Structure 1
């Protein structure tokens, strides 16, 4: 799979979602950017990709700020090593994942130490996530606005994607040590999510190898607006979008193995948590 497939999909969906958010027509965007309407329609349909030189005007017409416009331009111009640098950019990957959560057909998220962002309640973000990733008040507030937007968009989907979440029990035990009240609130939030159509949440007990402790898989299935299959992983100083089919298959094998070992959140019982911590 070409490395630029991911970038082309990112541009296509950024244009589409930005235009729809502003309730503008394709004709009006094309007119503002001095393009033929058929040309712009081809960009959104994925029949062609806009050149990097046109991206600033397109991004502005779709309501994006300079930061997002710059990422769209980089994705449009990315080739070879330049794309490898972009796919390791944490902010770019956050924007990509937010789109994937809205349009992919099958989503799998695993974290051995934290509640996945899509499932975090607000207090968890401000107390636990903030301890894990300290930052200024403005940075933390912006993080919640972005996270909350992702949650609302995922919940608003009408096309019923399959969403599987695997959470390490360590994340739950640590949360209970921080605050029993917050633990109960977050668990209620998780169980509410588990009742949504297509959503399954499981808890994984026992240790996990460090290199397997956090990854995500996004598969298009039969969803027409989804991009190429993607695995997403994070490291200490970067994150990665992987669209190599062989590597994705390897992560999928790990997913299947861990999923079989886990238990459904509906039957998860942590009454003996103190003994497991001893």
Structure 2
């Protein structure tokens, strides 16, 4: 579940991002919504939360979609009532995309698939079609969203600290599906690993199912990031966890896995068949 602090951060950053994309000043947005400029400044600064009655008008003034406005309304109502935001995979996907743009430090782990921002387009259409049984429309929509996330991370100028941990199982499966795609994907991963601030490691050995996929996001040195949180999911739901004790627990797991993993710069899986024999 995404707690009220996370929902509040989501709303103010969505407004800021949308407004800047529209090339509008805070005064212009305030005038369109018929509120004071100071009130709008407080919304973006996080000093106060935008009231639910103004969310749709604010989102429209900032060029946001109806879907984004709806998620903002849910977050605003939860903030007002001090309740948790209903867990929703699409909402959380939008939240992760925003976090990847503004958080100073984050870690992403998947034992069975290449993490989304590191996937080639061919990987999306070949491997995920097999893994998820997605339709062509779902694959097209998913790729546009995923490619936008990757571009945002790549173009960040503040050099966040990013760790990607990939289970070796994901690489073995890919190699079995297509040796050519495997080589292209590995070259792409190594290209990412050369980017300042980005580290990629391969996790050998079995991973308990309950630990096979999770992300940890920390504020780092970014002044625009929100509260620390962990992201995890199961078949029919997903969570943004901001409880400090649980974050510390996941971060401990992260450190342990990372310490045992192999840097992609020196990883060589030519001996994997011998090890499996």
TM-score normalised by length of structure 2: 0.96
Which runs of structure 2 are paired with 1:16-35 in the superposition (5 Å)? 16-35=16-35
- Compared with structure 1, are the counterparts of its residues 225 and 79 closer, same or farther at alpha carbon in structure 2 (3 Å cutoff)? closer
Deviates more, 1:268-277 or 1:99-108: 268-277
Deviates more, 1:75-84 or 1:213-222: 75-84
3-state SS, counterpart of residue 78 of structure 1? helix
How far 1:221 sits from its partner (Å)? 2.0
Aligned residue for 1:263?
Answer: 262
In the TM superposition, what whole-angstrom CA distance separates every residue of 1:118-147 from its partner, at most 9, and x where no partner exists? Answer: 111111111112222222211110100000
Separation in structure 2 between the aligned mates of residue 118 and residue 83 of structure 1, nearest angstrom: 31
How far 1:265 sits from its partner (Å)? 0.1
Separation in structure 2 between the aligned mates of residue 275 and residue 176 of structure 1, nearest angstrom: 16
Separation in structure 2 between the aligned mates of residue 227 and residue 129 of structure 1, nearest angstrom: 31
Aligned residue for 1:71?
Answer: 71
TM-score normalised by length of structure 1: 0.96
User: Are the equivalent residues in 2 in contact too, given 1:75–1:83 (CA < 8 A)?
Assistant: no
Query: Where do 5+ consecutive residues of structure 1 fail to align?
Result: none
In the TM superposition, what whole-angstrom CA distance separates every residue of 1:51-85 from its partner, at most 9, and x where no partner exists? Answer: 11110101111112211111000000015999545
How far 1:214 sits from its partner (Å)? 0.6
Which runs of structure 2 are paired with 1:17-166 in the superposition (5 Å)? 17-78=17-78, 83-86=83-86, 88-166=87-165
Q: How many pairs does the alignment contain?
A: 276
Separation in structure 2 between the aligned mates of residue 80 and residue 201 of structure 1, nearest angstrom: 40
Aligned residue for 1:9?
Answer: 9
Separation in structure 2 between the aligned mates of residue 76 and residue 85 of structure 1, nearest angstrom: 9
> How large is the RMSD of aligned CA atoms in angstroms?
1.5
Aligned residue for 2:172?
Answer: 173
Which runs of structure 2 are paired with 1:223-234 in the superposition (5 Å)? 223-234=222-233
Which runs of structure 2 are paired with 1:179-194 in the superposition (5 Å)? 179-194=178-193
How far 1:100 sits from its partner (Å)? 0.4
Separation in structure 2 between the aligned mates of residue 174 and residue 230 of structure 1, nearest angstrom: 30
Separation in structure 1 between the aligned mates of residue 24 and residue 83 of structure 2, nearest angstrom: 30
Query: Where do 5+ consecutive residues of structure 2 fail to align?
Result: none
Separation in structure 2 between the aligned mates of residue 134 and residue 22 of structure 1, nearest angstrom: 37
- Compared with structure 1, are the counterparts of its residues 81 and 184 closer, same or farther at alpha carbon in structure 2 (3 Å cutoff)? farther
3-state SS, counterpart of residue 266 of structure 1? coil
Separation in structure 2 between the aligned mates of residue 166 and residue 97 of structure 1, nearest angstrom: 17
User: Are the equivalent residues in 2 in contact too, given 1:3–1:80 (CA < 8 A)?
Assistant: no
> Is 1:217–2:216 an aligned residue pair?
yes
User: Are the equivalent residues in 1 in contact too, given 2:75–2:85 (CA < 8 A)?
Assistant: no
